[in-house]
Amino acid sequence: MKATLNLPDNLIQEAMKIAHIKTKTKIIILALEEFVRKSKISDLKKYKGKVNLKKIKSGTAKGQIKIMNDFDEPLEDFKGYI
């Protein structure tokens, strides 16, 4: 997706220097990925103290998970990248 953005050049340059990234596109992608990652972590924090993983017994899914024959085939969504 192409976009025209007005971004503070000093902020972009500082981020590129810190991350050792040479292009503005890559630093913006990294920033967006980090934002999404941190948002997901923040969402998980609301479950702190509410999920007891010790109650789950190992082997409870035994026989319920099957690997399909086409497991190693590329997914439709990624065929353009392969």
7-63 pLDDT per residue, tens = 999 999 999 999 999 999 999 999 999 999 999 998 888 888 777 766 666 777 777
- What sign for the dihedral angle of Cα 9, 14, 16, 22? positive
Q: Is residue 66 part of a domain?
A: no
Q: Is residue 65 part of a domain?
A: no
Q: Tell me, what's the pLDDT at 77?
A: 73
Q: Is residue 79 part of a domain?
A: no
Q: Is residue 78 part of a domain?
A: no
> Structurally, how many domains does the chain consist of?
1
CA atoms of 34 and 82, how far apart (whole Å): 25
CB-based burial, 8-29: b 16+ in 10 Å, e otherwise: eeeeeeebbeeeebeeeeebbe
Structural domain boundaries enclosing 34: 7-45
pLDDT at 79 over 80: no
CA atoms of 64 and 66, how far apart (whole Å): 6
